[in-house]
Structure 1
Amino acid sequence: MSGAAELDPEDAKIVTLARSARARTGAAEGAAVRDTDGRTYVAASVALPSLSLTALQAAVAAAVSSGAPGLEAAAVVTGADGVDEASLAAVRDLAPSAPVLHADATGAVRAVLAPEAS
């Protein structure tokens, strides 16, 4: 679709942050969300015997636990062909209309997932 350089600067920022989280931890995924106040929250996927979270679930949890009133956008960097339903559901719980950017390991955005029309 497009590289991070072609995105709105704020969206490019969350893709870069998500990519950095993935690279830094060696996790399967990295994610970042931007709240309605412009703050960003970054996370990597969590795979523990007692807890499993996708990167996007973890980023949304960080935002919620920090008191974020809502989300403007989210980004996930993954080698997977798509963004799983559990990740999308976490974003939609807090922000039904927020776009979710799906990017590959290079930061190239493969898709912008908009909410489904009701």
Structure 2
Amino acid sequence: MSVPADPGGLDPEDAKIVTLARSARARTGAAEGAAVRDTDGRTYAAASVALPSLQLTALQAAVAAAVSSGAPGLEAAAVVTDAAMIDSGSLNAVFDLAPAAPVLRADTSGAVVQIHTSETAS
């Protein structure tokens, strides 16, 4: 589903994870930044990992951080990227843990350009 690029239209908690994702991306200079919010309200941010022995998208890394910290589930996720889409492996990492969680895709300015749900992911 496409959404208006108006950040003022976002729920404040969703705007927060977009901001965290932007910060993770900028801090590391990575291709992507991501953040997730768990069902307790805690947030986890990560950037893409590109090592010879380990490759993770930013969203996979953020989900892994949440899971390894004992997150009981996820409420929402955000990815900041120049890419035209979020890869299915990244979306599935969220939906494996939280089938109903929305995944926001934002451009590098932080404008949300798409929201994925488990119904729209294929």
- Range class of TM-score, shorter chain: over 0.9
Normalised TM-score (structure 2): 0.93
Take 1:60 and 1:51, find their aligned partners in 2: how far apart are those partners? 15
Runs of at least 5 residues in structure 1 that lack an aligned partner in the other structure: none
2:17 aligns with 14
Whole-Å Cα distance in 1 between the matches of residues 11 and 27 of structure 2? 24
Gaps of 5+ in 2: none
Query: Does 2:35 match 1:41?
Result: no
2:65 is aligned with 1:62 = yes
Question: Is 2:56 aligned against 1:53?
Answer: yes
- For residues 24 and 3 of structure 1, do their structure 2 counterparts lie closer, same or farther at Cα, with a shift above 3 Å needed? farther
State the match for 1:31 in structure 2.
34
Moved over 3 A (4+): none
TM-score (normalised: structure 1): 0.96
| Deviations, residues 34-80 of structure 1 (Å, cap 9, x unaligned) | 00000000000000000000000000000000000000000000000
**SS of 1:106's equivalent?**
coil
Q: Secondary structure at the match of 2:63?
A: helix
Verify: 1:101 aligned to 2:97, yes or no: no
**CA–CA separation in structure 2 for the residues paired with 1:5 and 1:48:** 37
**Does the 8 A contact of 1:4 with 1:15 survive in 2?**
no
Identity rate of aligned residues, in percent? 77
Distance 2:100 2:36 in 1: 13
- Counterparts of 2:107 and 2:6 in 1: how far apart (Å)? 10
Between 1:107-116 and 1:31-40, the stretch displaced more is 107-116
Give CA deviations for 1:73-107 in whole Å, capped at 9, x if unaligned.
00000000011101001001100110000000000
Shift of 1:2: 2.2
The equivalent position to 1:116 in structure 2, one of 97, 107, 119, is 119
